């Protein structure tokens, strides 16, 4: 029986999918959409496909009329899949701990179905580290496949294989001494002829990133770039937790949805790392001060980013926030999938008009087909006002290191002043005064180079109103 769920049209406001269509639930193994940085959904021949496990093994499914149909069994194990696509062939890492597997399937367009790849019809065993935390796969510009993984020995490793991918290399260690439950992810950077690996290091309380250039010796990798190190704060367990999901744009900009270990209101918990084509990392972008297990979605055609995440540690609603890629700031929170679910997963690359997002719980996979229709969208503002909470006075980032930018709007055209106070209420300085235009976004950047570390109060005063904002300065 096929279940068809009605399409819900979102309100025509900023920062939302324009349509959300619920998919019929699929009976599956527990948390079948794990792991955090893997992808379970792909497109081929105008159709969506998914690699998901149930009680009889790990299988390929196709989406038809908003319901998943069984296509073929891949292996009998309960595996967590990640994949790469080369032409019409899907190469699949079937992660199941230290004894993982690899298969390749190719699409027959005449029969509109998948079959075993004619160059490698076998299921290849891949032996990973003892107590391996997780693994992911990607392909470099020359067609060499790379797997990144790490285990209880504290090493971040990569392995590689040349077509037809029947033999895999010994592990190449990129970093030593990370925590046993840290995580790493591999990402292709074809525009630079490179492959990259991002990892968390909860011991040093930093993120790590290295690149390898195609054509170099496989053991030759760059120095650790230590992403967004200037944004690292002395709070909780630090800036790096074991949550990563990555997308890369056609110009080489890398976007990584991550989780910090700050675990305190007032500090970013879900955040975004951004590496520019120059190789320079932006400071950390806050997405949310609550939530877990984020993934990032990239719509390059419309310059949109969405970060999708679970509302609570042990499952809850699947939420999302949106930003323009041109001026990153995440504002309103929207509910994508209601219920007790977790481990959001989607496609590996960017999307254009629509995509599929999945999540799971102990016994089923749920999902939505979502779209960004530019004819139904109001142009996205890049200013974060958090209007749903009645707040139109904020600072990004906050907490901050060297500087922060204040954003606000006023309902009437009138003069205003911005005054900074210390935590005891002593005035430090009047930092800015001007005249606001009704409804227009005002921005002012505060240089914190002369400020001591600590809590500050910023006061916005007009003739009729006074608003205050707490600022946390970390040096």
CATH numbers and ranges of domains, the chain: 19-371 (2.120.10.80), 393-473 (2.60.40.1930)
- Residue-wise pLDDT tens digits, 295-347: 999 999 999 999 999 999 999 999 999 999 998 888 889 999 999 999 999 99
- Alpha-carbon separation of residue 166 from 82, 91, 97, 162 (angstroms): 17, 12, 19, 8
d(CA 474, CA 454): 7
d(CA 9, CA 324): 21
What pLDDT is recorded for position 378?
A: 64
d(CA 60, CA 70): 6
DSSP helix/strand/coil, 201:
strand
d(CA 467, CA 407): 13
Cβ-contact 236, 263 below 8 angstroms: yes
Cβ-contact 447, 420 below 8 angstroms: no
What pLDDT is recorded for position 129?
A: 93
CA Rg, the chain, in Å?
23
d(CA 63, CA 48): 5
Residue ranges in the chain whose pLDDT is less than 50: 1-13, 382-391
What pLDDT is recorded for position 349?
A: 97
d(CA 386, CA 31): 32
d(CA 93, CA 84): 9
d(CA 294, CA 342): 10
Cβ-contact 169, 235 below 8 angstroms: no
Q: Which two tokens stand for residue 347?
A: 């496609």
DSSP string, 230-270: GG--SSTT-S--S-EEEEE-TTS-EEEEEE-S--STTS-SE
d(CA 266, CA 263): 9
d(CA 385, CA 203): 36
DSSP helix/strand/coil, 433:
strand
Residue 20: strand pairing partners: 8, 370
Question: Phi and psi for 375 in degrees, rounded to 5?
Answer: -75, -15
**Computed from CA positions of residues 279, 283, 285, 291, in that sequence, does the dihedral angle turn out positive or negative?**
positive
């Amino acid at each position: 029986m096929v279940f068809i769920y009605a399409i819900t049209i979102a309100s025509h406001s900023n920062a939302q999918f324009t349509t959300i269509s619920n998919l019929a639930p699929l009976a599956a193994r527990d948390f079948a959409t794990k792991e955090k940085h893997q992808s379970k959904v792909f497109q081929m021949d105008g159709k969506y496909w998914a690699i998901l496990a149930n009680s009889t093994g790990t299988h390929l499914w196709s989406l038809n009329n908003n319901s998943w149909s069984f296509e073929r069994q891949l292996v009998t194990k309960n595996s967590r899949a990640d994949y790469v696509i080369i032409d019409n062939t899907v190469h699949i890492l079937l992660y199941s701990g230290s004894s993982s597997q690899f298969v390749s399937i190719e699409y027959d367009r005449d029969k509109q179905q998948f079959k075993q790849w004619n160059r490698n019809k076998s299921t290849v065993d891949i032996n990973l580290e003892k107590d391996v935390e997780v693994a992911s796969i990607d392909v470099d510009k020359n067609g060499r496949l790379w797997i990144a993984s790490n285990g209880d020995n504290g090493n971040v490793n990569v392995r590689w294989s040349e077509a037809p991918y029947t033999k895999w290399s010994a592990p190449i260690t990129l970093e030593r001494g990370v925590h046993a439950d840290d995580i790493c992810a591999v990402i292709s950077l074809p525009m630079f002829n490179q492959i990259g690996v991002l990892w968390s290091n909860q011991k040093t309380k930093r993120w790590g990133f290295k690149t390898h250039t195609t054509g170099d010796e496989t053991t030759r990798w760059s120095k650790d770039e230590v992403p967004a190190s200037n944004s690292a704060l002395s709070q909780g367990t630090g800036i790096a937790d074991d949550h990563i999901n990555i997308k890369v744009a056609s110009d080489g900009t890398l976007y990584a949805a991550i989780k910090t270990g700050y675990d305190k209101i007032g500090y970013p918990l879900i955040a975004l790392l951004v590496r520019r084509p120059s190789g320079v990392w932006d400071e950390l972008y806050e997405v949310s001060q609550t939530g877990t297990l984020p993934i990032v979605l990239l719509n390059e055609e419309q310059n949109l980013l969405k970060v999708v995440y679970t509302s609570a540690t042990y499952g809850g609603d699947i939420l999302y926030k949106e930003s323009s890629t041109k001026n990153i700031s995440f504002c309103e929170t929207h509910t994508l999938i209601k219920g007790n679910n977790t481990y959001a997963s989607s496609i590996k690359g960017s999307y254009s008009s629509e995509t599929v997002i999945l999540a799971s719980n102990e016994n089923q996979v749920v999902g939505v087909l979502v779209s960004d229709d530019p004819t139904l969208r109001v142009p996205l503002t890049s200013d974060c006002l958090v209007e749903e909470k009645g707040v139109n006075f904020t600072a990004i980032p906050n907490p901050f290191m060297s500087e922060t930018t204040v954003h606000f709007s006023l309902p009437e055209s009138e003069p205003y002043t911005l005054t900074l106070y210390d935590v005891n209420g002593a005035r430090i300085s009047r930092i800015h005064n001007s005249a606001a235009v009704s409804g227009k976004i005002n921005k002012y950047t505060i240089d914190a180079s002369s400020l001591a570390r600590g809590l500050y109060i910023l006061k916005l005063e007009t003739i009729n109103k006074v608003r205050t904002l707490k600022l946390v300065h970390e040096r």
